[in-house]
Amino acid sequence: MKNFFVKDSLVQIGKDVTVYGWVSNLRDHKKIVFIDLRDSTGILQVVGDERFRDLHPEDVVKISGTIKKRPEKLINKKVETGEIELQAKDVEVLSHADTLPFDMGKEDLEVTLPTLLDYRSLTLRHPKVKSIFKVQEALMDGFRKISKSLRCTEVIVPEITITATEGGAEVFGFDYYEHTASLTQSPQLYKQMVIPALERVYLIAHAYRAEPSVTTRHLAESVQMDCEFGFVEFEELLDLLEKVAVETIAHAEKACKKELKEHNVSPVLVGKIPRLTLKEAQEVIKKETGRNVVGEKDLSPEDEVDICKWAEKEKKSDFVTVTHFPTRKRAFYTMPDPKNPELSLSYDILFRGLEIASGSQRVHEYEKLVKTIKDRGMNPDDFEMYLMAFQYGMPPEGGFSFGLERLTKTLLQLPNVREAALFPRDMERVDVRLSKKRKK
């Protein structure tokens, strides 16, 4: 079994080692051949003889040799292993690769988005593409760590549901043993239902939206990172939201220094996070940009960018919290503000120009919840199991939900959220382009 990785070579100067990996680049100088050997941890320069001339990009190889310091003038400060190289003795090809459709050896991949996705099983190997998913892993780890420290229990909730409970956005419905079921739009209702058992929970779950939209920020299948807390009030929820946002990103910053540097991500500014109501945010935007958006029911993508610019400039914060969105614009379980029921005890947190999480204090009283469901034209019978949790004693509670791909996109400033999913699903694609497939 492979027990030596490229990264390990940094502390093995003078040692004989065996490295397994992929041929990333090949520079043929006739008697001497230079290979960039890639594995999951980095790239190592290999100096080989004529036998290496027959290798091809992406061939899987096993190379034995000695780790040496490079001559001073050949040091490459841009790479982690730029001061060393492997003087090869033996090479064995474990698996041959077909001729590549494009050059994978450049520092930037430089392909269009369709090509990036059409060849996903190949392009994921590129160090800069792969690093997106190391950062994504760190965001999940960071989220779990802070959630656990807040005494949340991790739960698994179902993704098959019996009715489109959130209304509004379209759902994927299907035959389920002679009944109609659908893919869940959100783990929301289930995380609330377990509060009376576990009090504080977190989850990482898939959510499905059949919206016929092709924007840079929507996926048909996406991943949410959610928390829900019993026995909390609104102001405490804002503290929790900000704490989880900041700590999740801080963990990724710390764990993925190399990857964030590759993507030219500047250090995250965390000062005191400004908290504004939607109205206050709109007034700031008006004052800063001249665009009058006061009275709009939500922030537009442009508004999100503008309010974040203001927070960065004026408050030295990459985060902004916006509260009190109109009650009618939020989901039925959102608690109206007792001081002004037209507005709700809801919040979004924005990070570097994009909303990355959303949430609210919830309606926790059974009768009020039933009334709200009816008022919105829905049938309480469709919410039997959900309402049962409230019928038998639900404490004041609330929570929030982060979009994992969005968070990854924003932190790495990727142009499109599809780049932040290993195999993105949208209107046009399920692995391969749908246009290549026969319609049903």
CB of 190 to its own copies, least distance (A): 6
User: Is-catalytic flag, 263?
Assistant: no
Task: Output the smallest distance, CB 184 to its own copies, in A.
Answer: 10
Establish if 342 lies at the interface with its own copies (CB under 8 A). Answer: no
Cβ atoms of 304 and 320 closer than 8 Å: no
Interaction of residue 136 with its own copies, rule CB under 8 A? yes
CA–CA distances in Å: residue 101 to residues 97, 119, 395 = 11, 9, 58
Virtual torsion, Cα 187, 189, 191, 194, nearest 10 deg = -140
Looking at residues 83 to 112 of the shown chain, list those that interact with its own copies (rule: CB under 8 A). 94-98, 100
Helix (H, G, I), strand (E, B) or coil at 327: helix
Host H or E run for residue 94: strand 84-95
The residues, ordered by sequence, that sit 6+ positions from 100 with a Cβ below 8 Å of its Cβ are 57, 58, 122
Q: Let me know if 211 is a catalytic residue.
A: yes
DSSP 8-state code for residue 263: T
Q: Is 325 in contact with 343 (CB distance < 8 Å)?
A: yes
Please identify, among the stretches 253-261, 278-286, 340-348, 427-435, the one whose residues bind its own copies according to the rule CB under 8 A. Answer: 427-435
At residue 262, φ and ψ (nearest 5 deg) are -55, -35
Among 114, 271, 301, 395, binds its own copies (CB under 8 A): 395
CA 156, 218, 186: angle at the middle one, nearest 5? 25
CB nearer to its own copies: give 103 or 314: 103
Look up 9 and say whether it is catalytic: no
Report the distance separating Cα 274 and Cα 269, nearest Å: 12
Whose structure tokens read 């092709």?
A: 214
218 is catalytic: yes
Binders in 247-306 for its own copies, by CB under 8 A: none
Residues 370, 375, 376, 379, Cα dihedral to 10° = 50
Question: Which token pair is 114?
Answer: 């369709």
Residue 212 near its own copies by CB under 8 A: yes
Residue 125 is a binding residue for its own copies (CB under 8 A) = yes
Q: Of these residues, 228, 355, 397, 419, which one is catalytic?
A: 355
- In angstroms, the Cα distances linking 193 to 155, 225, 332 are 11, 17, 15
Does position 220 interact with its own copies (CB under 8 A)? The reply is yes
Question: With binding defined as CB under 8 A, does residue 114 bind its own copies?
Answer: no
Total binding residues toward its own copies, as defined by CB under 8 A:
101
CB 133 within 8 A of CB 126: no
Q: Given the complex with its own copies, which of 326 and 396 has the nearer CB atom?
A: 396
Burial class, 227, CB count within 10 angstroms (exposed 0-12 / middle 13-18 / buried 19+): buried
Stretch that binds its own copies, among 28-36, 125-133, 244-252, 369-377 (CB under 8 A): 125-133
Residue from 209, 251, 364, 418 carrying the catalytic annotation: 209
- Candidate residues 154, 302, 314, 342; the one interacting with its own copies per rule CB under 8 A: 154
By CB under 8 A, the residues from 318 to 337 that bind its own copies are none
State how beta strands 84-95 and 60-69 pair: antiparallel
Catalytic residue among 38, 330, 362, 406: 406
Q: In which order are the strands placed within the sheet that holds 275-277?
A: 153-154, 200-208, 221-230, 397-403, 354-361, 346-351, 319-323, 275-277
Considering the complex, what minimum distance in angstroms separates the CB of residue 207 from its own copies?
Answer: 11
| Active site (annotated) includes residue 330 | no
Task: Tell me the sheet residues that pair with 229.
Answer: 200, 398
Give the active site residue among 147, 317, 358, 401.
358
When the beta carbons of 161 and 360 are compared against its own copies, the nearer one is 161
Q: What residues between 26 and 55 interact with its own copies by CB under 8 A?
A: 39-40
Residue list 363-392, contact with its own copies (CB under 8 A): 364-366, 384-386, 388-389, 391-392
Residue of 217, 263, 275, 425 marked active site: 217
Task: For the segment 55-84, give every residue that binds its own copies (CB under 8 A).
Answer: 58-60
Does 155 participate in binding its own copies (rule CB under 8 A)?
yes
For residues 181 and 378, which CB has a smaller minimum distance to its own copies in the complex?
181
Exactly one of 164, 227, 232, 320 binds its own copies (CB under 8 A); that residue is 232
Quick one: which segment of 136-144, 262-270, 296-304, 307-315 binds its own copies (CB under 8 A)?
136-144
221 is catalytic: no
Q: Residue 196 and residue 202: Cα distance in Å, rounded?
A: 14
Looking at residues 179 to 208 of the shown chain, list those that interact with its own copies (rule: CB under 8 A).
179-181, 183, 190, 193-194, 196-200, 206, 208
Residue closest to 402 by CA, chosen among 436, 332, 355: 355
229 vs 310 by CB, closer to its own copies = 229
- The two structure tokens encoding residue 314: 């004026």
Q: How many residues are present in the chain?
A: 440
Sign of torsion over alpha carbons 285, 286, 292, 296: positive
In the residue annotation, 217 being an active-site residue is answered as yes
Asked if 431 touches its own copies (CB under 8 A), the answer is: yes
The one catalytic residue in 83, 211, 280, 283 is 211
Catalytic residues: 209, 211, 217-218, 355, 358, 406
